[in-house]
């Protein structure tokens, strides 16, 4: 019987150079695994693999040296530990995330909650080519948002609360974009310079800022055979539901316009950056 | 507010060390103080003045003022909170 490699690949089984051996990619969301999942993965690697796993470049885990005949047994055993196979090929891939605001002092958004939501909404959705989401919690960009087809970066929009301010001067120096100047005890915020990093908020001793946590979204990043930085075509998004609508619109634009095997960036370039921007702005302003 | 003369209980100079020792040295100096006492921390421009105040805040202490010494150093006035 002929082996349907495309179906296996879709189900996360990556053909190895060693005949009849597959490296099984697992479904990981936002780079998190529970201890129970890890124990089960270890058990499967011992029993059905060669006793090692590979951590992929995008926060997944692969178990190499799985034999074709063991595929069903492997899936069943993994399921006992709440582990599912991942995907490869032309569809929505692993949603990656840094630790975000739930763990990291620098985080501006709950990246893991958002990764889970995007994973539930889009994971494995069939598209003309691969589509990668990446979520980073702040301007430190540990998760490299702009190398993804759709990158999300957390940020904080600030407004000075004069009555709470003691004019200590800390924020003026904490700001790395020189958006804050203080004179005569009054703070002036140059919004055109603010990059929403939130350092003024996080360093302020008296919480003298009104804050709105939100998202900076970039589109069309890729970092493989071709390399391009995703571009932010819309301003700061201060609303979670709006973010979801924009993700829907972007992925729909890709589904509607891309040629088979064409990455998002090249679809945007071919159809026109202006047309794409118009589409996304329409949703943004709606 | 700038002409308030800050009388502090102790001073520490962290201009001779780099991150993360800057914060460690400041923290060690704060540990010597009693609650409510104040410390003047002298630090360099750049990374120390961008990051040390935030770390002090995250430790739960009260920042009162950041003074520009006019020589590429700054002095952070901190009130100790907690034992």
Chain B CA closest to residue A205: B63
Asked if A169's CB is within 8 angstroms of B65's CB, the reply is: yes
pLDDT in tens, A174-226: 999 999 999 998 999 999 999 999 999 999 999 999 999 999 999 999 999 99
Dist. CA A113–CA B9, nearest whole Å: 46
* Res. A39: pLDDT tops 70: yes
pLDDT at B47 over 80: yes
A105 touches chain B (CB under 8 A): yes
Touching check for A170 and chain B: CB below 8 Å? Answer: yes
Cβ contacts below 8 Å, chain A against chain B, sum to 44
> How is A132-195 classified by DSSP, letter by letter?
-EEEESSTT-TT-GGGSSEEEEEEEEEEE-GGG----SHHHHH-SS--EEEETTEEEE-TTT--
Average pLDDT for A118-143:
97
Percentage of residues of chain A with pLDDT beyond 90 = 95
**Whole-number pLDDT of residue A8:** 84
Q: Which of B49, B63, B67 sits opposite A205 (nearest CB)?
A: B63
Question: Does the beta carbon of B83 lie under 8 angstroms from any beta carbon of chain A?
Answer: no
Q: What is the DSSP string of A7-28?
A: HHHHTTEEEPSSTTEEEEEB--
Q: In chain B, which residues have their Cβ closer than 8 Å to the Cβ of A203?
A: 53-54, 57
**Which whole number is the average pLDDT over A232-261?**
97
**8 Å CB contact of A174 and B76:** no
Kindly determine whether residue B64 and residue A166, on different chains, have CB atoms separated by under 8 Å. yes
Neighbouring-strand partners of residue A153: A136, A216
Contact A264, A254 (CB under 8 A): yes
Looking at residue B4, its pLDDT comes to 54
Question: Which one of B6, B63, B69 would you mutate to disrupt binding with A, by most A Cβ within 10 Å of its Cβ?
Answer: B63
Question: What predicted TM-score, i.e. pTM, was given to this entire model?
Answer: 0.92
Phi and psi at residue A176, in whole multiples of 5°?
-95, -5
Q: For B16, what's the count of Cα atoms within 13 Å in the CB-facing half-sphere?
A: 3
Rounded mean pLDDT of A111-119? 98
Reading phi first (left if > 0) and then psi (alpha if -120 to 50, else beta), residue A133 is in beta
Give the CA count within 13 Å in the CB-facing half-sphere of A89: 17
Smallest CA–CA distance from B67 into chain A, residue: A169
**Euclidean distance between CA atoms A246 and A204, whole angstroms:** 32
A152 closest CA partner among A199, A90, A95: A95
Q: Which residues of A touch B76 (CB under 8 A)?
A: 170
Q: What is the pLDDT of residues B60-77, one digit of tens each?
A: 999 999 999 999 999 999
Q: What whole-number distance in Å separates Cα of residue A240 and Cα of residue A162? A: 28
- Confidence at B1, pLDDT banded by 50, 70, 90: very low
- Given a contact cutoff of 8 angstroms between Cβ atoms, the answer to whether A222 and A96 are in contact is no
Interchain CB contact of A224 with B (< 8 Å): no
For chain B, say whether A255 makes contact (Cβ under 8 Å): no
Q: Is residue A113 packed enough to be buried (19+ CB in 10 Å), middle (13-18) or exposed (0-12)?
A: middle
Report pLDDT for A205.
96
- The half-sphere exposure of A223 on its side-chain side, counting CA atoms within 13 A, is 16
- In chain A, % of residues over pLDDT 70: 99
Task: Check CB contact of B79 with chain A, cutoff 8 Å.
Answer: no
* Cβ neighbours of A168 in B, within 8 Å: 63-66
End-to-end CA distance of chain B: 29
Sign of the torsion angle spanned by Cα atoms B44, B49, B51, B57? positive
Average pLDDT, chain A: 96
A185/B contact by beta carbon, under 8 A? yes
Residues A170, B76: C-beta atoms closer than 8 Å: yes
pLDDT of residue A10: 85
Report the residue of chain B nearest A169, measured CA to CA: B66
With a cut of 60, say whether residue A130 has pLDDT above it. Answer: yes
- Neighbour-count burial of A69, counting CB atoms closer than 10 A to its CB (0-12 exposed, 13-18 middle, 19+ buried): exposed
Instruction: Label residue B3 by pLDDT band (50, 70, 90).
Output: very low
Instruction: Write the DSSP string, B29-71.
Output: HHHTSPTT-EEEEEEETTHHHHHHHHHHHHTTPEEEEEEE-SS
- Mean pLDDT, residues A258-273 taken together: 98
pLDDT value of residue A43? 98
Half-sphere CA count of B8, side-chain side, radius 13 A: 21
Residue-wise pLDDT tens digits, A81-105: 999 999 999 999 999 999 999 999 9
* pLDDT tens per residue across span A192-206: 999 999 999 999 999
Q: Are A47 and A41 in contact (CB under 8 A)?
A: no
A197: phi then psi, degrees, rounded to nearest 5: -75, -25
> Any chain A CB within 8 A of the CB of B58?
yes
- Two tokens, residue A72: 């069903």
Per the model's pLDDT, the better-predicted residue between B4 and B27 turns out to be B27
ipTM value for the complex = 0.87
CA–CA gap between residue B32 and residue B65 (Å, rounded):
20
CB A122 within 8 A of CB A133: yes
- Residues B33/B39, Cβ–Cβ less than 8 Å: yes
End-to-end distance of chain A based on CA atoms, in angstroms?
54
Alpha carbon distances (Å) from B48 to A131, B8, B18, B66:
40, 20, 8, 12
């Amino acid at each position: 019987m002929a082996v349907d490699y495309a179906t296996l690949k879709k189900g996360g089984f990556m053909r190895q150079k060693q005949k009849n051996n597959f490296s099984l990619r697992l479904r990981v969301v936002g780079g998190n695994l529970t201890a129970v999942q890890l124990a089960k993965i270890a058990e499967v690697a011992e029993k059905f693999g060669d006793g090692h796993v590979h951590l992929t470049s995008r926060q997944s885990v692969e178990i190499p040296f799985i034999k074709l005949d063991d595929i069903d047994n492997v899936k069943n055993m993994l399921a006992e530990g709440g582990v599912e196979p991942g995907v490869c090929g032309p569809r929505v891939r692993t949603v990656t995330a840094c630790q975000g605001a739930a763990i990291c002092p620098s985080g501006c958004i709950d990246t893991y909650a958002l990764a889970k939501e995007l994973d539930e909404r889009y994971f494995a959705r069939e598209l003309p080519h691969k589509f990668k989401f990446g979520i980073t919690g702040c301007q430190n960009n540990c998760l490299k948002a702009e190398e993804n087809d759709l990158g999300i970066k957390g940020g904080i929009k600030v407004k000075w609360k004069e009555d709470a301010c003691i004019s200590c001067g800390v924020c003026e120096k904490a700001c790395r974009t020189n958006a804050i100047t203080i004179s005569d005890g009054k703070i002036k915020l140059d919004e055109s310079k603010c990059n929403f990093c939130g350092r003024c908020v996080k360093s302020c001793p008296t919480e003298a800022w009104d804050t709105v946590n939100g998202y900076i979204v970039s589109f069309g990043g890729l970092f493989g055979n071709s390399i391009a930085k995703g571009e932010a075509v819309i301003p700061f998004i201060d609303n979670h539901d709006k973010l979801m609508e924009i993700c829907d619109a972007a992925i729909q634009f890709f589904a509607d316009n891309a040629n088979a095997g064409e990455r998002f960036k090249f679809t945007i370039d071919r159809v026109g950056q202006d047309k794409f921007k118009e589409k996304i702005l329409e949703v943004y302003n709606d | 507010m700038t002409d308030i003369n800050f009388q502090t209980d102790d001073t520490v100079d962290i201009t001779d060390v780099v991150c993360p020792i800057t914060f460690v040295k400041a923290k060690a100096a704060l540990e010597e103080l009693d609650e409510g006492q104040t410390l003047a921390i002298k630090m360099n421009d750049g990374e120390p003045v961008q990051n040390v105040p935030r770390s002090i805040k995250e430790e739960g202490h009260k920042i009162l003022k950041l003074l520009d010494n006019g020589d590429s150093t700054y002095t952070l006035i901190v009130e100790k909170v907690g034992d």
